[in-house]
Amino acid sequence: MGLMKVFSGSEVLAIALQERLEEAGVETVKKDNIQSARLGGFGGTDLAVEVFIQETDFAKANPVIENFRMSI
């Protein structure tokens, strides 16, 4: 299978969700578009940090993601 994006937003929220998912045993991948743009010499406030999980982990991750969304 592949990766699926479960969050896109600020770095602080992305890290918080990533920590909760990893505590639940779900491996995550964080893509920092803000840092990538900065290193490339571009700037922009519409860029975000994205969190991805394996599609096969969605059933385990979904309750954590929903709980996180309700708490923000």
Where along the chain do its domains lie?
Answer: 3-71
pTM, two decimals, is 0.82
pLDDT value for 40: 60
Q: How far is CA 40 from the centre of its chain?
A: 21
The string of pLDDT tens digits covering residues 45-67 is 555 899 999 999 999 999 999 99
Tell me which of 3.40.1280, 3.30.310, 3.30.70, 2.160.20 is the CATH number of domain 3-71.
3.30.70
The string of pLDDT tens digits covering residues 14-32 is 999 999 999 999 999 999 8
How far, in Å, CA of 18 to CA of 35, rounded?
Answer: 17
CA angle 5–22–15, rounded 5-degree value: 65
For residue 42, report the phi and psi dihedrals to the nearest 5 degrees: -110, 155
